[in-house]
Structure 1
Amino acid sequence: MGAAELDIGASPAFSAEDAARYRAAGWWSDTTLSDAVRRNAERIPGRVAYIDHPSGALTWHEFDCTADALAQQLAGLGVARGDRIAVWHGDSAAIHVLFVAVERCGAVVVGIGARAGIQEVTQILHSAQPTLLISDQQRSSSAAAATAQYPVTLLALSADGGILSLDVTAKPGVVREEAQLGPDDVFLINSTSGTTGVPKCVLHTQNRWYYFHQKAVANGVLRSEDVFLPAIPAPFGFGIWTSHTTPIYLGATAVILQRFATEAAYQAIARHRVSVLCCVSTQLTMMMADPGRAGYDLSSLRVVFTGGEALPYRTAAEFEELTGATILQFYGSNETGLLSGTTVGDSRQRRLRTAGRIAPEMAVRLFDGDRDVTEEGRGQPACRGPATSLGYLGAADHDTLFTGDGWMRIGDICEIDADGYLTVTGRTSDFILRGGKNISAPQVEAAAMTHPAIVVAAAVAMPDQTFGEKVCLYAELADHHTVDLAGLVDYLMAQGVSKEILPERLIAIDELPRSPGGKIAKGRLRDDIRVRTQTGR
């Protein structure tokens, strides 16, 4: 298939001098995830690597052999160093084996979220330009529809008799060691919500996640004997380190849920003696709201990593009392990696009411626009350091992501106290934070306005006790047209829109409020939905 150079489009987020310094400090490594899998297969061959709950398990020896077999199948198809391989697959042990197989070929994984719709998949394929799309059986028909709109070879990953294989007829090829990726090469491209309504592709090296892994191990005192339950899908930032990077580097066991549900999570914790739970705040809140928790032994839990949104203090404290676990929070983004984190040595007040102390290796500044307001202790954070990504493929939104002098931004407003602890107090970007997932309001609006009844739409955050925020859509309707929420959702689903951006409330009004400059006054809409929610209207 032939290698293709990645169009990074902008200078990397670190220089050669930075890289040398990160290595000298031990923050970056010269080994890869593939190396770690081989090491685990040699040292602890019989230890379980991944468990597909409720049944099915893969040892480190089996993981290594299966990754080799899949890599040989890919090589037989002509996959070469630099090729991009899109993976659209439900969460399972298989996806982690496949990621390592792609790495061993020297290719780059283009990770697509399991709940993505055909429109989003097609946009990602167009941006990342992979040569192959590998899907599971559940997504095969949708994958076929997506590849009809973008020319890419479609393959299915199956598990006949528990043996993973690709549906190919080509003979297995030779996987050359020199072709394999290094820790500073791009190994993963995943997507993040775009403020223009189009997902952007983020470029990841392994070393940025190796650094994150080390912080997690230090902050949570993690061990190879730990059993992880990562509740976040693998293609995304939180999911990459909790289900892929850290379990592999540690040689630990990870329990994978095909889809998060509170009962399934409790069953997995009790059955597999899970010691490390990784979830967003909403999932923790949902677990505490489930009265069925009383029927399970959760005493094995030792550490819970969470983040992505504000953590309800009372809920978190009750979970700690129920399980005896210590809840830790990180703060960062898919693009920047972590900026701060709490540790098992922090007080409960610090752990549950802040996002932790700024990591000293991650230089963090606060901005108001392009003005440095670090000394004031409140502003939009931006960083430089060993956890940052390489930015967006093709330098999309480069000026939005970076400050003028090259610091990588996050779209929040934060406060940093005198002891270096960070608290998120607001957002600068037009996102709705639902259950730890950033949902682009313009993306929701663009999808909704394809409906013939909707002339103009504005999506805003609707307060919700469980998810923090949900998607509320205000709309001006065309003359003599009507549409209700169910009809709009059915229409959008038929258009292949991702489930994550579907509106959860629709309010039709004669005219959307506008500012003197003619822009939609979303502040007034947010005030309106807040009042409606409080009064039950």
Structure 2
Amino acid sequence: MPEFSSATIERYYADGSWDADTIADLVARNAVAAPDGIAFHAPEGALTWREYDTAATRLAGAYVLAGWTPGQPLAVLLTGGALTHVAYLAAQRAGLVTVGLSPRAGDAEISHLLRHTAAVALVSRSRHRGRPAGEIARLTGAPEHLELDLVDAVPVLRRAGVPLTVPTVAQAVGLLAGRGLGPDDLFFLNSTSGTTGRPKCVRQSMNVRKYFAALAAEAGAFGPDEVVLSALPAPYGFGLWSAHVMPARYRFATVLTAEFDPAGTLDLIERHRVTVLAAVTSQFIMMLNHEAFARRDLGSLRVLFTGGERVPRHRAEEFEERTGCAVLQFYGSNEAGPISVTRVADPRPARLGTAGRPVPAMRLRLLDPDGDPVTEGPGQVAVNGPGCTSGYFRDEPANRLLFRPDGWLRTGDLGRLDADGYLSITGRTADFIIRGGHNVSAPVVEEAVGGHPNVAQVAVVGMPDDVLGERVCAFVVTRDGAGLTLDELRVHLEAAGVSKVNWPERLVGLPVLPLGAGGKVDKSALRALL
């Protein structure tokens, strides 16, 4: 059930962007080559490659015995940990499409996604984030609910509290004959995050998600023995490539947490001598702000892959200076995949001041308001390459907005290329505050405010105004927890030469910024405060 045309698939195989390996193939090879090597350091304990491979195979066999047929969607609601990846891999081997539910999704969102995808069942632990999962299943209208656990590296599956048969490996292999998903099949549906309204489901094939791995290895100059810590929610694109795909391809040990906690993450970096950290911008800033940061030995870190939202240059510089690692980012999205990337070899001004050079195979274009290409920009970023999704699941109106008639994917971001070929994101087509008919870019204001020495985090939104339509409001978290006045901020902005059009007109201090399901700052929650 490929989601791409045969011509598209042939083109990407021919240029080497895609290959015939499935994620299950990669894990199986690791189980043979390094059976006792660590796949995951997780809340459930350490899991070797052989244990990971065996657990996923047996669980896949149990899915077959449960009566599910190839191609059916299976909704998975789990916090982070090894069990999450066992469940994802088992579904691939059983030929099922995983509907990755955010661990923090509310009942209304879960209910919508279950209906929209026609998922055959909801799979979760018996309790999810302190709630009985059976209650969640009942309130969300799940057609069936199965409880899943991992005990001593062995999967346990229950229906209505009654254990289901989990076959042996030999039995499972027989049950699974001819059922596994291929690298170009739809294998995962992840919901969009950080937007208002009902979430849309992004279609993913394994080759689309695998495409990040080689790019990350080159950008980060990976060696053979990296230790990865993925602090991200697993169902989203960043979490998938950093914890489910990349370690499987390169046989890296991966450190996982149930849910992100800045102090706990710092402890894990020190304990496991992590070399590659994957965390969205809000997460690395929360670690940087934490009082434990100065007390931890973080000298093992070589690379931080971050992004998912604007990366403030001042904080990235501080992270580099205090750890000695290189802060890198992929610019992209669940839909577009990797558009550009910064590399350890890039000079610091380019590495921290731009979104990096575009990935050649992604064929970036910058479009003017009429949809015509412009050489250097500014223009709306559009791509057409091997990291792009085939579209939203069962949502043709949304697909018509996402894709141009010629097949190019529109991101909604505005960008510019400099003389050295580096891409800078100058704003979003929708992330403007319209003040008296003038468009004020929220990212530009955030960059200016974030330069104040006592600003740890900042998010800028528009606040309603009867005269001007909107005014600029900045929400800030300070480094020392003390207040920052608007007058103090204005003194700094004037000294920095920031145009007054990019000065906030209201300043609100918060102890923390609210985060959405994907770990990004939840601007809709900030707007609600206004």
User: Which structure ranks higher in relative contact order (CA pairs < 8 Å, sequence separation ≥ 6)?
Assistant: 1
CA shift for structure 1 position 368:
3.2
The aligned runs of 1:475-486 (5 Å cut-off) are none
Structure 2 residue identity aligned to 1:319: F
1:223–1:252 CA contact under 8 A, matched in 2 = no
| Residue aligning to 1:398 | 399
Distance (whole Å) between structure 2 residues aligned to residue 466 and residue 407 of structure 1:
37
| Residue aligning to 1:159 | 150
2:382–2:410 CA contact under 8 A, matched in 1 = yes
1:327 has 2:327 as partner: yes
1:533 has 2:523 as partner: no
CA shift for structure 1 position 163:
3.2
CA shift for structure 1 position 123:
0.9
Tell me the secondary structure at the aligned position of residue 100 of structure 2. strand
How big is each residue's C-alpha offset from its partner over 1:52-108, in whole Å with a ceiling of 9 and x where there is no partner?
15x611000100111111111111101221011100100111100110001000111
2:74–2:99 CA contact under 8 A, matched in 1 = yes
Distance (whole Å) between structure 2 residues aligned to residue 36 and residue 281 of structure 1:
30
Which of these residues, 43, 55, 65, is aligned with residue 76 of structure 1? 65
1:105–1:179 CA contact under 8 A, matched in 2 = yes
Structure 1 residue identity aligned to 2:506: R
1:281 has 2:270 as partner: no
CA shift for structure 1 position 528:
12
Does the C-alpha gap of structure 1 residues 320 and 535 become closer, same or farther in structure 2, counting only changes over 3 Å?
A: closer
Does the C-alpha gap of structure 1 residues 143 and 387 become closer, same or farther in structure 2, counting only changes over 3 Å?
A: farther
Point out where structure 2 has 5 or more consecutive residues left out of the alignment: 434-448, 475-500, 511-529
| Residue aligning to 2:39 | 49
How big is each residue's C-alpha offset from its partner over 1:185-217, in whole Å with a ceiling of 9 and x where there is no partner?
011001004866110001000001121111111
| Residue aligning to 1:427 | 428
1:184–1:205 CA contact under 8 A, matched in 2 = yes
1:88 has 2:62 as partner: no
Distance (whole Å) between structure 1 residues aligned to residue 199 and residue 403 of structure 2:
18
The aligned runs of 1:434-513 (5 Å cut-off) are 465-469=455-459, 513=466
| Residue aligning to 1:355 | 355
2:126–2:134 CA contact under 8 A, matched in 1 = no
Distance (whole Å) between structure 2 residues aligned to residue 75 and residue 352 of structure 1:
48
CA shift for structure 1 position 170:
4.2
Distance (whole Å) between structure 2 residues aligned to residue 377 and residue 280 of structure 1:
27
CA shift for structure 1 position 126:
1.3
Q: What is the identity percentage for the equivalent residue pairs of Structure 1 and Structure 2?
A: 39
CA shift for structure 1 position 419:
2.3
The aligned runs of 1:357-372 (5 Å cut-off) are 357-372=357-372
1:414–1:423 CA contact under 8 A, matched in 2 = yes
Distance (whole Å) between structure 1 residues aligned to residue 349 and residue 39 of structure 2:
35
Report the aligned-residue RMSD.
2.9
- Give the TM-score of the pair, scaled to structure 1: 0.79
Distance (whole Å) between structure 1 residues aligned to residue 258 and residue 146 of structure 2:
21
Structure 2 residue identity aligned to 1:138: R
Distance (whole Å) between structure 2 residues aligned to residue 467 and residue 128 of structure 1:
37
Tell me the secondary structure at the aligned position of residue 505 of structure 2. helix
The aligned runs of 1:7-46 (5 Å cut-off) are 15-46=5-36
Tell me the secondary structure at the aligned position of residue 208 of structure 1. helix
Tell me the secondary structure at the aligned position of residue 181 of structure 2. coil
Structure 2 residue identity aligned to 1:62: E
2:125–2:149 CA contact under 8 A, matched in 1 = yes
Distance (whole Å) between structure 2 residues aligned to residue 45 and residue 420 of structure 1:
44
1:119–1:146 CA contact under 8 A, matched in 2 = no
Distance (whole Å) between structure 2 residues aligned to residue 161 and residue 386 of structure 1:
39
- Give the TM-score of the pair, scaled to structure 2: 0.80
Does the C-alpha gap of structure 1 residues 299 and 524 become closer, same or farther in structure 2, counting only changes over 3 Å?
A: closer
The aligned runs of 1:92-491 (5 Å cut-off) are 92-139=81-128, 141=132, 144-161=135-152, 163-168=154-159, 169-171=163-165, 172=167, 174-193=174-193, 197-394=197-394, 395-429=396-430, 465-469=455-459
2:463–2:473 CA contact under 8 A, matched in 1 = no
1:282–1:466 CA contact under 8 A, matched in 2 = no
2:463–2:471 CA contact under 8 A, matched in 1 = no
1:350–1:356 CA contact under 8 A, matched in 2 = yes
1:232–1:278 CA contact under 8 A, matched in 2 = yes
Structure 1 residue identity aligned to 2:19: S
| Residue aligning to 1:499 | none
